[in-house]
Amino acid sequence: MVASWILAFFMAAEPATQAYEALRTRNYDSAVALFLTAIEANPENAHLRKDLAYAYLKVGENEAARDQFAEAWKLDPTDYQAALEYAFLCYETQRKGEARRVFNQIRQSAPGEARRTAEEAFQNIDRSLAERMELWKRAVEAEPDNFSAHRELGEIAEERDELALAAEHYLRAWRLRPDQRALLLALGRVWKRMGRDGDAVAVLLAASRGAEPRVAEAARGLLPDRYPYVYEFREALALDPTNVNLHRELAYLLLAMQKREEAEAEFLAVVKAAPNDLLSVTQLGFLRLERGERDSAMPLLERVLASGDKDLADRVRFMLKLPRTMEQPQETPRTKISVEAKAFADKSFELCYWQDAWKYYLIAHEKDPLDFDVILRLGWTGNAMGRDKEALPWFDLARRSPRPEIAAEAERAWRGLASDARRFRISAWLFPIYSSRWRNTFSYGQIKMEWRARKLPFRPYLSTRFIGDSRGILDSASPHFFSESAFVIAAGVSMRPWKSFTAWGEAGTAASYRTGKFLPDYRGGLSFSRRTGARWFHAFTGDAVFLSRFDNDVLVYLQHRTGRRVFERAELYWNYNATADAKRQTWANFVETGPGVALRLPSHVTLSLHALRGRYLRRGEPTYTVNYTDFRAGLWYAFLH
């Protein structure tokens, strides 16, 4: 920790020195840029942030200065000068409520002059707010339906931290003017501060699906870090029943959950409120067509065909098995926003910024709910964030895509996640691999039935393993770890994964298919697996395995892969592998490295090719040369049910 701080200090020292020199010569723009460089190298330096704030004031950037004073005070809570500067700038930039709260905090904890300054400023702000509050209260009493009076009273009450009063008048103002969804944002903000999180989600959800981009973005920032539930959409619609965007998004969510009748009712509400919403008209027509109600579906679909929206018209032609038009799709504001949001989302997904990717994919989906590529990406993003319950309905919807490649990929992902939700899961895998060094093909496989009890910290299972080779070299000088020539029938338990770690253990019997002998078999292990990056990636797996039939030995395997995804189904990478054991046997202690490629083939099969150069770490039997070269080709097949 000390070493890293010293390094950061020296990295920041030179630009900081130049920044102070620029201040001395009144070159404030250069000073700002140099301070930013110094802070990037040493972000925990409160003095640099405070001096940057003063430099911002010199160039008239009051809001940027305010934010830097806030950071400096956060880093050094005893710096009451920075706190006062922050509070005064809050007041100047129309954040009077925050200014009042900060002055109140300073007057209760600061010593001497800072306390007196904060006390005076607090009283001035509070007195002014109290006087204005009384005026607007009298205005509301005189004219109960005065929209401006309720809004002003709500804003003043919020600034004065009278939250219940603020919520009351924000709600009354919004009921007078339901088109003013900025009031929903304010109401949600107040309810959130009051601890009424459920009510806050409903109003913020309504505000986030409004037509005002600034309000919608601010509301999204206050919503929980997950996709809303159906009941939350219902509560939002109870508050804002005319919100077409809410109805439409709920309709697609219900559709993803296979609640088609409820989804159709929501699409019908959208079409009645907004007859020109061609997306909803199209989907309503598709749902009726799917139910066999062609007479009521065709007028809707014919309206889309005659609309001039080439993209939607082609989708209708596809469903009706009509020839598609050869003209280029017409770009509309809706499709433009969808394309831009999707581009931002793809970039965030590639850089593993999952939260940003999730947000922009949702925006893209909201603008074009029939883009199944976006729907599939929402599934993968939810899965990457560990939110499998939310990812599952997106995969379920994507597997209905008219594009076969998207439908197939979504089907595989949906089956994998759906199997995780089952009480009993059957899994199987097979891995035959050819080694040029041993001139032999080795095969490994397992069939396992697992009981996935929700409340238990472990999962009992029954397992049959197969370990064998094509030449039968168990009794030769070849390494024992390659082949046991046996079926192993066992019962065991595996712990639930925790931060990429998994532990397991089993007891059973090994039946050799070469000798006919039956031997007790006990094995167990600890595994770790982690992968970072999307296009450029690094994957690491580590295993420690106890094997009773190998003289109660413990083997440790470490595998690193660093590489790049070059196509949708291909990866190129470099291997760094190491193996060791507790008994310090020659065959079990080596390192190896070399290039590799993995190709995902249809039907859950992956082909891997490796060219490796290795070296044994211990000298033993003369049959083991110190260095070796090995070309390996393997096929991995896995199945879940």
* Structure confidence by residue, pLDDT tens digits, 60-90: 888 888 988 988 888 888 888 888 888 899 8
Residue pLDDT, tens place only, 561-613: 999 888 767 889 999 999 999 988 888 899 999 999 999 887 678 899 999 99
CA nearest 171: which of 156, 150, 194? 150
Do β-strands 570-581 and 553-567 pair in parallel, antiparallel, or remain unpaired?
Answer: antiparallel
Give me the count of residues in the chain: 641
Mean pLDDT of the chain, nearest integer: 81
Domains of the chain: 2-128 (1.25.40.10), 333-421 (1.25.40.10), 425-640 (2.40.160)
| Residue-level pLDDT at 483 | 56
CA distance 399 to 380: 13
Q: Is the pLDDT of residue 529 over 60?
A: yes
Phi and psi at residue 239, to the nearest 5°: -80, -35
Contact 363, 340 (CB under 8 A): no
**Would you say 252 and 233 are in contact if contact means Cβ atoms under 8 Å apart?**
no
**CB neighbourhood size of 540 (10 A):** 16
Cα–Cα nearest to 217, from 234, 228, 204: 204
> Measured between alpha carbons, how far is residue 48 from residues 3, 23, 37, 183, 555 in Å?
20, 13, 10, 38, 52
The pairing of beta strand 553-567 with beta strand 590-601: unpaired
| Continuous H helices in 385-463 | 388-398, 404-421
- Is the per-residue pLDDT at 129 higher than 90? no
pLDDT at 325 (0 to 100): 52
**Residue 406 to residues 83, 258, 271, 320, 377, Cα–Cα distance (Å):** 54, 19, 29, 21, 10
CA-based Rg of the chain, rounded to a whole angstrom? 33
265, with CB counted inside 10 A (0-12, 13-18, 19+), is middle
Q: Please say if the pLDDT value at position 527 is more than 60.
A: yes
Q: Is the pLDDT of residue 500 over 90?
A: no
Question: What would the two tokens of residue 275 be?
Answer: 């007859």
CA 26 to the chain's CA centroid: 45
Which residues share a beta bridge with 325? Answer: none
**Closest to 562 measured CA to CA, from 535, 591, 526:** 535
Q: CA-to-CA distance for 142 and 150, rounded, in angstroms? A: 12
What is the reported pTM? 0.48
User: 3-state DSSP: the chain helix, strand, coil percent, rounded to 5?
Assistant: 55, 25, 25
Find the mean pLDDT for residues 147-158: 88
Cβ(509)–Cβ(520) under 8 Å? Answer: yes
The residues that bridge with 577 in the sheet, in sequence order, are: 559, 592
Regarding predicted confidence, which is higher, 413 or 352? 413
pLDDT class of 103 with cuts at 50, 70, 90: confident
For residue 503, pLDDT over 60 is answered with yes
Residue 157 CA to residue 154 CA, distance in Å, equals: 5
d(Cα 324, Cα 311) in Å, to the nearest integer?
10
Residue 435 has pLDDT above 70, yes or no: yes
What pLDDT does residue 76 have?
87
pLDDT score of 474: 43
Task: Give the pLDDT score at 580.
Answer: 94
The mean pLDDT value for 260-274 works out to: 84
pLDDT in tens, 10-55: 444 467 787 787 788 888 888 888 888 888 777 888 888 888 888 8
Q: Which two structure tokens, joined as six digits, stand for 114?
A: 């800072």
In this prediction, what percent of the chain has a pLDDT beyond 70? 85
pLDDT at 455: 67
Q: Is the pLDDT of residue 320 over 70?
A: no
Angle made by CA atoms 467, 473, 477, in degrees to the nearest 5: 120
Q: Which residue has the tokens 């209708």?
A: 316
β-strand partners of 610: 596, 632
CA angle, 133 then 135 then 138, to 5°: 105
Q: What is the pLDDT of residue 4?
A: 46
Q: Are strands 518-532 and 536-547 parallel, antiparallel or unpaired?
A: antiparallel
Q: Phi and psi dihedrals of 612, rounded to 5?
A: -120, 145
Q: Which of 372, 275, 365, 265 is nearest to 318 (CA)?
A: 372
Report how far Cα 3 is from the mean position of its chain's Cα atoms: 33
User: What is the rounded CA–CA span in Å between residue 235 and residue 203?
Assistant: 8
Coil/strand/helix, residue 503:
strand
Residue 2, pLDDT score: 43
Q: Which of 253, 307, 400 lies closest to 317, judged by CA?
A: 307
DSSP at 481? G
Contacts of 19 (CB under 8 A, 6+ apart): 30, 31, 34, 35, 38, 51, 55
Going by the DSSP 8-state scheme, the letter that residue 332 receives in this structure is -
Asked if 606 contacts 600 with a C-beta cutoff of 8 angstroms, the reply is yes
- Residue 161: its pLDDT value, please? 85
Instruction: Report residue 475's pLDDT band, with 50, 70 and 90 as the boundaries.
Output: very low
Side chain identity at residue 106, one-letter code? I
